[in-house]
A = this chain, B = another copy of it.
Amino acid sequence: MNPTGSPFSIAEIGALIGDPARANILLALIGGEALTAGELAWCARVTAQTASGHLAKLTEAGLLTVKAQGRHRYFRLASPLVAQMLENMQVVASLQLPPRHRPRTRIDEALQQGRTCYDHLAGRLGVALADALVARGHVVLAEDAGAATESGAELLRRFGIEPNPRGTRRCFCKPCLDWSERRPHLAGALGAGLLKRCLDLGWIERVRDTRAVRVTDKGWDGLGEAFGIGPDALQPKREAA
């Protein structure tokens, strides 16, 4: 709702898109990824303060949604309809798409492959683990929660994680948006348990002085057997065309 309390009008939507900084922000998000406020400020070539104001307006108008994660706030388009509208406007503008600039900052390759995120795994390793558990039907993920299926409970118990913890209020499983991969990995008690067991088993080890983790040779054997994950899981993904 806008200040008047009336529904948004086409003119208000147009005015929002009409500012170059905001247009750049929207275009940066048209791929569907979630980006942080800082990255979007960089994309729009304005300072963080200025971008913050723009993002508030876009979110207020319902063009963007935001999810806070730690000290980052991840913004994404609120709906595919918004993307469709933007593409439609591009058609009318007969604009050639500017070369797709990656707003990402230089991320240490080791960190991107695998790292800890508080108490659980992140990076391509964390995402691959989440993907594997979901793909094999061991875990189901919703918007902001998740659960182990029957087969998943069985697997986890064998692996050394109690799938139905009692006496704890901690959320068992929660999807956590991975900041380098922009896809969910597993947080909550499940994520913590997986990290702990992998460390205990010597499957992965911390890299000195960083949050990065490295998979050991023994670890690849174990991860392959238990979850079907191989070293290729750590290769950078191809960009879709």
Contact = CB atoms under 8 A, between A and B. Distances in A.
Interface of A: 1, 7-20, 22-24, 26-27, 61-63, 78-79, 81-82, 84-86, 88-98, 105, 177
Nearest to A102: B7
Contacts of A92: 13, 62-63, 79, 81-82, 85
Top 5 A-B pairs, shortest CB-CB distance: A14-B17, A15-B18, A11-B23, A14-B18, A62-B96
Contacts of A96: 1, 7-8, 61-62
Contacts of A8: 93-97
Contact of A15 (B19, B27, B62): B19
B81 A91 contact: yes
Contacts of A23: 9-11, 14
A112 to B, nearest CB: 15
19 contacts: A1-B98, A8-B95, A8-B97, A9-B20, A11-B23, A11-B24, A13-B14, A13-B17, A13-B18, A14-B18, A15-B17, A62-B92, A81-B88, A81-B92, A82-B92, A84-B177, A85-B85, A85-B88, A85-B89
A223 to B, nearest CB: 30
A97 to B, nearest CB: 5
Contacts of A81: 88, 91-92, 95
Contacts of A97: 7-8
Contacts of A15: 14-15, 17-19
A211 to B, nearest CB: 15
A4 B114 CA distance: 29
A13 B85 contact: no
B13 A16 contact: no
Given A62-B95, A79-B95, A95-B79, A89 B13 contact: yes
